[in-house]
């Protein structure tokens, strides 16, 4: 998959899947749709793109599937739900089209307070720079639409959360362009040279780059970026007049891994941008999906001083609004700083424990992984020694084959999603209840080691 996905633009790639895939659909079937409707529908036909859901339950479905693919802090969900049931009161502003102005002001104010307390901003976050929408995912689509023309590109390092191709591509038609970095190299200031090379190559092929997207803390590597790397990337954006999109949805899901060399989280908001970049080129994404274990709440935020962009996003917000019930929940939580502090602390402790359990198991079994992780819900692991070696198989087929064996053993790792330079790397999501994590790892090793 890596080889195929690296060089072919999303449109032709998808067209091939739609029209060329043996189990795909023929053009004839889609005569009732627009060409872009056909393109979107075809995205569901890409093998493995839509992952199976976890169905395992120790008591009720012990043979069910354990998924290590969905980046969700599962153990924290019960804490959030308990709080909602006990503390949240809904009002007419939770269901009406437009809340009272005093209500409408509360969530941006509470989020600004939250960021000012936790992200160490260089200048306090102004609530007026915050746009509330349905999720960081939807905001990705909105940024793609508002910042780039169809077919233009957004530059990311490699490996990278693969679904950005959907967020920015599925409607806006914006291409994700990969800088050819490795999973450790991507965090070094020197990585900017790979961004330069990718920019040059893309523009030579006629793909104009409009933005750099940095996920910090990083998904899938689980590391934070050192400030000197962030500064190089900001200067790179300023030099080429690119937007700098900082996806900081894991900003508080940073934990003590016990590794003294692990890099602490530095929000781009905490940097003095003067001399680095025009602040109007810098846009931060945040939301409830990760630090608040509420991906299904669909509550996301854009923080940007760019009034043009804010206005463009407001105009299309009618298609991507947060539910006002979700806004009520989010407001109540963020205004309760004591609760926020307690769940962030609890989440960090839980992540640290799961991370240590997972990494010690990997080490015991001799599985290589990217060290230095201290953030997010995942470990980037190297299963290349376990790929089938049949000479007739492509790199993609080898990854798919291993993934199928794992699924057959009741555990799912998403093949090819993170666009590693080398085949065989997988993102392992460890933010599970301990018993599920242990059982899922056991299933993996039953396949890899035949035990």
User: In the window 111-140, what residues touch a copy of itself (CB under 8 A)?
Assistant: 134-135, 137-138
Among 323, 361, 384, 446, binds a copy of itself (CB under 8 A): 323
The alpha helices in 22-105, defined as continuous H runs, are: 35-43, 74-87, 101-104
Asked if residue 44 binds a copy of itself (CB under 8 A), the reply is yes
142 vs 370, which CB is nearer to a copy of itself? 142
Give, as ranges, the residues between 171 and 200 that touch a copy of itself (CB under 8 A).
171
Give, as ranges, the residues between 398 and 427 that touch a copy of itself (CB under 8 A).
none
Q: What are the residues facing 170 on neighbouring strands?
A: none
Q: What is the 3-state secondary structure (H, E, C) of 349-365?
A: HHHHHHHHHHHHHHHHH
7 vs 29, which CB is nearer to a copy of itself? 29
Q: Quote the CA–CA distance of 161 and 15 in Å, as a whole number.
A: 22
CA triplet 246, 247, 252: central angle to 5 degrees?
A: 115
Q: Quote the CA–CA distance of 25 and 35 in Å, as a whole number.
A: 14
Q: What are the residues facing 247 on neighbouring strands?
A: 215, 285
181 vs 328, which CB is nearer to a copy of itself? 328
70 vs 438, which CB is nearer to a copy of itself? 70
Among 122, 180, 184, 312, binds a copy of itself (CB under 8 A): 312
Which DSSP category does 213 fall into?
E
Residues 6 or more apart in contact with residue 414 via CB below 8 angstroms: 48, 51, 69, 162, 403, 426, 427
Among 108, 136, 141, 251, binds a copy of itself (CB under 8 A): 141
Give, as ranges, the residues between 49 and 88 that touch a copy of itself (CB under 8 A).
53-55, 70, 72, 74, 77-78, 80-81, 84-85
Asked if residue 34 binds a copy of itself (CB under 8 A), the reply is yes
Q: Quote the CA–CA distance of 77 and 350 in Å, as a whole number.
A: 12
Residue with tokens 């720079």: 129
| Contact predicate 179/123, CB 8 Å | no
152 vs 399, which CB is nearer to a copy of itself? 152
x-marked contacts with a copy of itself along 215-244 as a string, rule CB under 8 A = ----------------------------x-
CA triplet 22, 425, 63: central angle to 5 degrees?
A: 75
Which H or E run includes 330? helix 324-335
Asked if residue 314 binds a copy of itself (CB under 8 A), the reply is yes
Give the nearest distance from C-beta 350 to a copy of itself in angstroms: 15
**Which part of the chain contacts a copy of itself (CB under 8 A), choosing from 144-152, 227-235, 335-343, 374-382?**
144-152
Among 30, 118, 336, 397, binds a copy of itself (CB under 8 A): 30
Among 147, 249, 303, 375, binds a copy of itself (CB under 8 A): 147
Length of the chain: 451
Q: Quote the CA–CA distance of 365 and 356 in Å, as a whole number.
A: 14
Q: How many residues bind a copy of itself (CB under 8 A)?
A: 85
Residue with tokens 């599970």: 432
Which DSSP category does 52 fall into?
P
**Which part of the chain contacts a copy of itself (CB under 8 A), choosing from 263-271, 317-325, 337-345, 381-389?**
317-325
54 vs 266, which CB is nearer to a copy of itself? 54
Give, as ranges, the residues between 267 and 306 that touch a copy of itself (CB under 8 A).
280-281, 289, 293-299, 306
Give the nearest distance from C-beta 69 to a copy of itself in angstroms: 11
Residues 6 or more apart in contact with residue 198 via CB below 8 angstroms: 155, 177, 178, 179, 180
What value does the CA radius of gyration of the chain take, rounded to a whole number of Å? 22
Among 17, 56, 119, 145, binds a copy of itself (CB under 8 A): 145
Asked if residue 321 binds a copy of itself (CB under 8 A), the reply is yes
**Which part of the chain contacts a copy of itself (CB under 8 A), choosing from 90-98, 188-196, 345-353, 361-369?**
90-98
Give the nearest distance from C-beta 137 to a copy of itself in angstroms: 5
């Amino acid at each position: 998959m890596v080889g195929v996905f690296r060089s072919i633009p999303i449109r032709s790639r998808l067209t091939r899947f739609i029209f060329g895939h043996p189990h795909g659909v023929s053009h004839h079937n889609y005569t009732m749709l627009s060409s872009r409707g056909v393109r979107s529908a075809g995205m569901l036909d890409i093998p493995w793109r839509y992952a199976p859901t976890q169905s395992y339950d120790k008591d009720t479905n012990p043979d069910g599937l354990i998924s290590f693919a969905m980046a969700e802090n599962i153990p924290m969900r019960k804490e959030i739900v308990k709080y909602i049931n006990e503390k949240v009161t809904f009002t007419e502003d939770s269901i009406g089209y437009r809340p009272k102005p005093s209500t409408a002001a509360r969530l941006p104010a509470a989020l600004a307070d939250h960021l000012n307390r936790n992200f160490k901003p260089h200048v306090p976050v102004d609530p007026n720079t915050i746009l509330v929408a349905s999720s960081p995912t939807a905001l990705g689509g909105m940024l793609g639409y508002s910042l780039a023309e169809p077919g233009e590109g957004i530059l990311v390092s490699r490996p990278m959360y693969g679904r950005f191709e959907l967020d920015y591509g599925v409607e806006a038609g914006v291409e994700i362009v990969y800088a050819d970095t490795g999973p450790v190299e991507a965090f070094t200031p020197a990585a900017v040279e790979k961004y330069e090379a990718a920019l040059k190559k893309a523009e030579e092929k006629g793909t104009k780059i409009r933005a750099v997207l940095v996920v910090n803390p990083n998904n899938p590597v689980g590391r934070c970026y050192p400030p000197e790397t962030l500064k190089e990337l900001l200067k790179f954006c300023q030099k080429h007049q690119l937007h700098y999109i900082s996806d900081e949805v894991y900003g508080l899901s940073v934990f003590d891994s016990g590794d003294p060399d692990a890099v602490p989280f530095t929000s781009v908001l905490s940097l003095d941008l003067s001399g680095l970049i025009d602040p109007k080129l810098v846009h931060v994404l945040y939301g409830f999906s990760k630090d608040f274990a509420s991906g299904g709440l669909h509550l996301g935020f854009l923080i940007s001083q760019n009034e043009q962009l804010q206005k463009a996003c407001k105009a299309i917000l009618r298609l991507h609004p947060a539910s006002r019930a979700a806004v009520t929940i989010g407001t109540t939580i963020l205004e309760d700083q004591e609760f926020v502090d307690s769940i962030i602390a609890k989440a960090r402790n839980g992540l640290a424990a799961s991370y240590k359990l997972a990494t010690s198991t990997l080490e015991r079994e001799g599985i290589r992984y990217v060290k230095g992780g201290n953030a997010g819900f995942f470990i980037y692991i190297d299963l290349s020694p376990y790929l089938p070696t049949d000479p007739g198989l492509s790199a993609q087929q080898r990854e798919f084959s291993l993934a199928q064996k794992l699924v057959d053993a009741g555990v799912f790792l998403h093949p090819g999603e993170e666009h590693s330079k080398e085949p065989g790397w997988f993102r392992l999501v460890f933010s599970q209840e301990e018993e599920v994590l242990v059982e899922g790892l056991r299933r993996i090793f039953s396949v890899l080691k035949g035990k």
